[in-house]
């Protein structure tokens, strides 16, 4: 039986583009005294190219391969808050790896909130389409069950400030890491 002591102390934030993984993740890391990591930033550093350029040169499949490789690099991580790219759950092999890394939290604001945040930023190649509103809707329809399946916990923190969200999440994280797992919980 695994216990709280044998689980890596990481928090993994998943969710759609614009859900606040980086903003809330940074603040949460500070609250917990953990380091903050962001898979998109790690990909850019390793590939030495911005994300839109990776998509242009290697397509989405090339980007996903880099993303999965970065996830593999994080296996020995501990005491970290890890913000992930919105599409990381679309590669099925990534999901058990995310869950083995620690507590997976899905930041899940309403679609309108996501859309308003996404259109303010031009760094997201997947929504550079003729009808971004429809693209966001279609991608969300496909991905919601994937996030739900990957997450231990899902929260909508869009009606509070990022500081308040981080404070509340830190409380949940502390509870999760101090509670022993039940005998039937394999940790996966």
Residues that bind ligand S3P (CB under 6 A): 17, 21, 40, 51, 85-87, 124-126
Nearest to ligand S3P of 125, 181 (CB atom): 125
Nearest to ligand S3P of 140, 181 (CB atom): 140
Nearest to ligand S3P of 64, 177 (CB atom): 64
With H, G, I as helix, E, B as strand and everything else as coil, classify residue 154: strand
Rg (CA), the chain: 16
H or E element, residue 114: helix 111-118
- Sequential DSSP letters for 157-185: -TTS-HHHHHHHHHHHHHHHHHSPPPTT-
Torsion, CA 153, CA 156, CA 158, CA 163, rounded to 10: -30
H or E element, residue 37: strand 35-38
Paired tokens of 120: 């303010």
Please, what is the minimum distance in Å from the beta carbon of residue 7 to ligand S3P?
25
What's the Cα-to-Cα distance from 25 to each of 11, 14, 132, 147, 165, rounded to whole Å?
9, 10, 26, 17, 10
Please, what is the minimum distance in Å from the beta carbon of residue 103 to ligand S3P?
19
Nearest to ligand S3P of 17, 103 (CB atom): 17
Please, what is the minimum distance in Å from the beta carbon of residue 126 to ligand S3P?
5
Nearest to ligand S3P of 7, 109 (CB atom): 109
């Amino acid at each position: 039986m695994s216990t709280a002591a044998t689980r890596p102390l990481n928090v993994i934030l998943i969710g759609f583009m614009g859900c606040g993984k980086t903003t809330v993740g940074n603040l949460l890391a500070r609250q917990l005294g953990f380091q903050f990591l962001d898979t998109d930033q790690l990909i850019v550093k390793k590939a030495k190219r911005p994300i839109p350029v990776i998509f242009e040169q290697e397509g989405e499949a090339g980007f996903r391969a880099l993303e999965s490789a970065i996830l593999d690099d994080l296996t020995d991580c501990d005491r970290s808050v890890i913000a992930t790219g919105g599409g990381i759950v679309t590669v099925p092999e990534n999901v058990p790896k995310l869950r083995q890394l620690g507590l997976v939290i899905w930041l899940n604001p309403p679609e309108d909130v996501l859309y308003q945040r996404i259109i303010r930023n031009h760094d997201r190649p997947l929504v550079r389409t003729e009808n971004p509103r429809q693209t966001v809707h279609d991608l969300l329809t496909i991905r919601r069950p994937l996030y739900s399946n990957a997450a231990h916990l899902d929260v909508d923190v869009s009606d509070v400030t990022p500081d308040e969200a981080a404070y509340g999440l830190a409380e949940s994280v502390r509870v999760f890491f101090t509670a022993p797992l039940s005998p039937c919980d394999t940790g996966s």
